[in-house]
Amino acid sequence: MPHFNVGHENSANIELYYEDHGKGNPVILIHGYPLNGASWEKQVPVLLSTGHRVITYDRRGFGKSSQPTTGYNYDTFAEDLHKLITHLGLREFALVGFSMGGGEVARYIGKYGSKGVSKAVIISGVPPYLLKTQDNPEGVDGSVFEGIEKAVGADRYAFFTEFFKNFYNTDVLLNKRVSEQAVQASWNVAAFSSATASLACVPTWHEDFRKDLAKIDVPTLVMHGDADRILPIGAAGMRTAKLINGAKLFVVNGGPHSIIWTHADEVNPELVAFLGQAAAKHAG
């Protein structure tokens, strides 16, 4: 199983797990909280079959990656991504981020620029800025995030059970677009994440990505479900699409937060079509 080193904590290396399959234009898939790279299982085969090289990785603290107690902020997450890209020697790659992964896409380009990036996709992403402030009245009150932190700190396993109900909108979609087993599998993955990471990632959800989004100058697709209870489309996807010059917004009707699972039949064709169109536009 391939790993690469991104740093050290005391005597231990911090290593991230990744998978690298196929040939063609590279696509890096960046997962959401509190899952891992395997959460893209409905997208990977489709992208491989349409001629892409597909790379997934587990964010620090999650999946098969190391579980340090440091580095849970978007500057470090973007640096970890940059080290993966450098490690693999990638050029002309697409960045596709789901939920928290949308923050990596934004911060990576904000920090390192778009050199080498052919296109960007943000699906159910945390940008642009979720915290309500004087200059961001559309945001969410800080007490909401404080409540989540308290719940995770008190009993993260109980929190995950409630979280996934809204992740998949199980009251509406269970046994229609998501099975009980799939929800349980997500809970199992979450349970094996780092307790430190589970808690430390919560305040990163309301980092300010507005300046990062303004720097995105490659073809960009924003996808969001209009029934997202984790990151409401009005506070996230719609605003993100407006802040990125020329971005395309694709709304999944009735889509919950995890549209990459429940509505893969809509997400995948749109994703494949965009990657192909963007590649042709970039080449031209």
In the three-class reduction of DSSP (H, G, I as helix; E, B as strand; rest coil), residue 54 is classed as strand
- Structure confidence by residue, pLDDT tens digits, 2-31: 999 999 999 999 999 999 999 999 999 999
279, pLDDT greater than 90: no
Is there a catalytic annotation at residue 257?
Answer: yes
Q: What mean pLDDT is reported for the chain?
A: 96
In the three-class reduction of DSSP (H, G, I as helix; E, B as strand; rest coil), residue 182 is classed as helix
Distance CA(63)–CA(68), nearest Å, equals: 13
Is there a catalytic annotation at residue 87?
Answer: no
- Active-site hit among 39, 65, 66, 99: 99
Domains of the chain: 3-283 (3.40.50.1820)
Bond into 34 cis (ω within 30): yes
Residues 6+ apart with CB under 8 A from 243: 127, 128, 210, 213, 214
- Cβ density class 82-106: b for 16+ within 10 Å, e for less: eebbeebebeebbbbbbbbbbbbbb
Q: Contact, 61 vs 86, CB < 8 A?
A: no
Is there a catalytic annotation at residue 99?
Answer: yes
- Active-site hit among 194, 206, 228, 263: 228
Mean pLDDT of 204-232: 97
- Structure confidence by residue, pLDDT tens digits, 24-66: 999 999 999 999 999 999 999 999 999 999 999 999 999 999 9
282, pLDDT greater than 80: no
- Active-site hit among 206, 224, 257, 263: 257
From the number of C-beta atoms within 10 Å of its C-beta (0-12, 13-18, 19+), residue 171 rates as exposed
In the three-class reduction of DSSP (H, G, I as helix; E, B as strand; rest coil), residue 19 is classed as strand
User: In 89-141, which residue ranges form alpha helices assigned H by DSSP?
Assistant: 100-112
Q: pLDDT tier at 276 (50, 70, 90 boundaries)?
A: confident
